[in-house]
Amino acid sequence: MPVSTSANSITPATDNILEQAKGRFEVAVVVGLLPDGNIDVMTNNSNYAILQWLFSRASFELLNHEKMGYMNKAKEINPAKGEGA
């Protein structure tokens, strides 16, 4: 499925993230969505076990971040919830 956004509007933001990442990581995986809707993965490490662990950890962190967002939103709506009430 083709991506409906303009590649010109996405490229500067993507390039900025990649620039910020330079020199920070020992192992890196770049997962990108191509304009035709396909996914491409690039990495500097060919050890499958490390890459699998990295994806699992990243998935956990994203889910945890999402859960904390829901919990914070619920506290904003009902401040008494989650405070021992």
Same domain, 71 and 56: yes
pLDDT digits (tens, 9 = 90+) for 58-83: 999 999 999 888 888 877 887 765 55
The total of structural domains in the chain comes to 2
Q: What domain range is 40 assigned to?
A: 1-44
Q: Nearest CA to 11 among 1, 19, 22, 23?
A: 19
CA atoms within 13 A on the CB side of 79: 0
8 A C-beta contact, residue 5 and residue 28? no
pLDDT digits (tens, 9 = 90+) for 1-46: 444 455 556 688 889 999 999 999 999 999 999 989 999 999 999 9
Same domain, 12 and 25: yes
How far separated are the first and last CA of the chain, in Å rounded?
48
pLDDT digits (tens, 9 = 90+) for 12-22: 888 999 999 99
Same domain, 85 and 55: yes
